[in-house]
Every structure is written in C-alpha cells, then in structure tokens.
Amino acid sequence: MTYDAIVIGGGVVGTSTAYHLVCDGAKILLVDRRDAGRATDAGAGILSPATNTRDPDPWLRLAAFASEYYPQLVDNLQAEQDGETGFATCGMLLVAVSYDEIESFAIARQHIFNRRDQRGEPAEEDLYEISSDEARRRFPALGDVRGAIYYRDAARVDGRLLSAALHRAAEAKGLAVKHAGVEQLLIRDDSVTGVITDGETISADKVVIAGGAWSQAFGDQLGVHIPVEPQRGQIIHLGLDTDTSSWPIISAVRGHYMVPWPDGRVVVGATRETGSGFEARTTAAGVLEVLAEALRVAPGLAQAEVREIRVGLRPYTEDHLPVLGAVPNIQNIYLATGHGPTGLQLGPYSGKLIADLVLGRELATEIDAYQITRFL
C-alpha cells in the first residue's frame, strides 16, 4: 500500500499533522514508537503568549496565531469525537513575591504593557495589574505578593487528553497507525519514497518527521544536521483537599509556574535541564528545585500531597524556535520539531501548517523564520 504521507512521531505535533491531513481526505500512516519521556505527556500546557517575556519575536508571532487557532480546533474536536480535549480558559497571574524581584517584575510589566499598547491587544480590561490582596484571593495558596499582573484569556491544555482527542478524530477519518520505530527513510533520486519500519517497507509520496527530541536521528541519512536535543523537564502534580477549579495559572518572575486543575490538582514546574541526554528520570536536585520554588511562591501548598512526578524530554533548539518546513536538497520530506517547552502551545497549529505545506496549500502564516536553513 502507498500512502499520501507518513508522519513519524505521535506527540501532539505529529498527531496534529496527521489529523489535519486526514481532514482533507489524504491517506495517512502515523508511525509512533511511543517513547518514554515524550514531552507531550509531561507538559504543563500553558497557553498565554501575551504574558511571555522569555522568547524572541518570531516565537511570539507564531504563538499568537497558535492561540487564536485553539478555540476553532477544540470546537472541531468536540464535534468529531466523544472525549475530553483538556482545554479550558482559566486566566493567569504573573507575580513577584520578594523584594529582590521587584525590579525584574517592573521590567516584565513594562515589556508586557508596551507590547499590548503597540499591538492593540489584548484589551486593557483583559490584561491589567491587580493588587496583592486580589492576587491572593484568586490563588489562596500564595504568600506575600509584591506585584501581580492578571491576564483573563490565558488557557491551559492537558497534552495527553488533547493528543488522544486528535488521535480519535483522525482515526475516525481513516488514519492508519503503526506502533513501531522507523529504521530507515527510503530515498531515491534525492526524493523520499517511504520508510522501513519493523523490517517492513512502506511507500509514501511524502514523509513528515515529527519525532520531538528524537528527530535528530534522521539527520545523517538526510545529509543535514537537525539541531534538536533533549532538554529534560521535571514537573510535579500536587493534590489539595480544596476546590481549585477557579484558580488561575501562576507564572513567577523567576520562571517557574503552577497550573491548577479542577480535580484539586496543582501542577508545579519545571526544570529546564539542557544537556540531560535521553534520560527520562527524576533527580533529587530536580525535585528539590521544583518544590522549593513552588513553596517559596505559594507556601499554602506545603501540605499538598505529591501525587505524581512526570518527566518530559523537550525537543530543544539553541534559538528557542521550532524547526518547520522542507529539508533542503531532498524532496518530499518535512520537519516539524524543536518546540522546546512550548510544544502544547505551538504544536497543534504547527501541525496544521505542516499539513497545509504537504498538501501544497498557501500557508496562513509565514514560516521562513523556522526553516532548518537558518542553521546551515
């Protein structure tokens, strides 16, 4: 059998790519090795580009489109399958909790509000500064608050639920799935013609590599370095005997976060361990870092139960931008990887863009800034 395209990798990026392709009637095979430590399964799922002060402008441009696309995607998935998508608008607080953070908070505040004023969005009534008392009212576990900004439209998504919903909807539209690794790409006359997986040769007109941190393995065969490496992130799920359904996300000035969920769960994280290799395991230092920062910001979590610790290997690039687009000098093969710690924010929309590229459609968003050629 020959497929219109084979997608390698079943995380949120690969599954989104496959979903959008089958929505157009394409015959698609998703090959997924189900690696332990896949970033999609461990991510916090924070969707709030308006409060981002870490990443470069090309990331912000893509994130803005990605966030705008989420409601449409969620509406489609709710109509196409019967499971939860894990998406909800919940709001976010950016907080400073100590005097030595006041200067950093002031810089972040100026950056966020200047960008809001320049772009004319979000509206002032959706992104604004609030009092310390109001911040603690919204998130009762907080300790002292020296500064707080509230963003009404921030959202969260459960990566496991979203990927499962994409998978169900895609299978209902004819997606074929094979749980195996790809040993080799088939290349003839500088054009990809399929893959070898589990010793089986499978033909396809096009191939998409969406293997997350493992995508680099195909670089040698393609004659190009795929500059993606694993960055370990440890994230801890805490349980409280209280209703956390209305609590907002907390983003602390020092870069850690807390994501409440309706089941009395607060997810706290995360480490950013560049150079970790493919060791998807917890470490004493990582757990200490996450818990110490969580309790520094929100001492009211001190008696919470440690329900679970998850570890994800994020596909990290040195410039913090994803790798999207065609591979130079080889026809019919595309890359969709390198989303780092923001795969759940960018991934569903990246999958749509790559699907449109595979189908030969005009892209709604320019992707030149994310092409692999920027590294060559």
pLDDT digits (tens, 9 = 90+) for 187-224: 999 999 999 999 999 999 999 999 999 999 999 999 99
DSSP-H helix ranges across 173-283: 219-222
- pLDDT tier at 233, thresholds 50, 70, 90: very high
What pLDDT, in 10s, does the model give residues 100-125?
Answer: 999 999 999 999 999 999 999 999 99
My answer on whether 111 and 121 are in the same domain is yes
Measure the CA–CA gap between 68 and 48, rounded to whole angstroms.
Answer: 11
Kind plus residue range of the DSSP H or E element containing 268: strand 265-269
Query: What local confidence, expressed as pLDDT, does residue 316 receive?
Result: 97
Domain at 261, CATH number: 3.30.9.10
Give the per-residue pLDDT at 55.
87
pLDDT band of residue 344 (cuts 50, 70, 90) is very high
Out of 279, 297, 315, pick the residue that ends a domain.
315
Residue 329 in any domain: the answer is: yes
Continuous segment of H or E residues that includes residue 107: helix 102-119
pLDDT tens digits, 34-44: 999 999 999 99
Q: For residue 255, what pLDDT is reported?
A: 86
Do 222 and 236 lie in a common domain?
no
Mean pLDDT of 46-68: 93
Least confident of 4-8, 120-124, 246-250, 264-268: 120-124
Higher pLDDT, 119 or 139: 139
Is the residue at 264 inside a domain?
yes
Crossing angle of the two packed helices 159-172 and 57-80, in degrees rounded to 10: 60
**Does the CA dihedral 159-163-164-166 come out positive or negative?**
positive
Assess whether 238 and 138 both reside in one domain.
Answer: yes
Q: Which residues contact 35 (CB under 8 A, 6 or more apart)?
A: 212, 214
The pLDDT, as a whole number, for residue 156 is: 97
Would you say residue 49 lies in a domain?
no
Q: Which of 295, 315, 335 is the last residue of a domain?
A: 315
Collapsing DSSP states into helix, strand and coil, what is residue 67? Answer: helix
Domain containing 325 equals 2-44+160-228+319-375
Both 234 and 142 in one domain: the answer is: yes
Residue 332 counted as domain residue: yes
Q: State residue 86's pLDDT score.
A: 96
Q: How far apart are CA 140 and CA 137, in angstroms?
A: 5
pLDDT given at position 254: 86
On whether both 115 and 19 belong to a single domain, the answer is no
**Beta strand 249-252 with 92-96: parallel, antiparallel or unpaired?**
parallel
Q: Please check whether residues 341 and 201 belong to one and the same domain.
A: yes
Say which amino acid occupies 152: R
Nearest to 178 by CA among 355, 6, 359: 6
Q: Is the pLDDT of residue 90 over 90?
A: yes
Crossing angle of helices 343-358 and 12-23, in 10° steps, is 40
What's the CA gap between 141 and 152, in Å, rounded? 19
Residue 253: name the closest of 116, 51, 59, 44 by CA.
51
pLDDT of residue 225: 94
How many percent of the chain have pLDDT more than 90? 97
80 within 8 A of 169, measured Cβ to Cβ: yes
Predicted local distance difference test score (pLDDT) of residue 102 = 94
376 has pLDDT over 90: no
Q: Give me the mean pLDDT over the 81-108 stretch.
A: 95
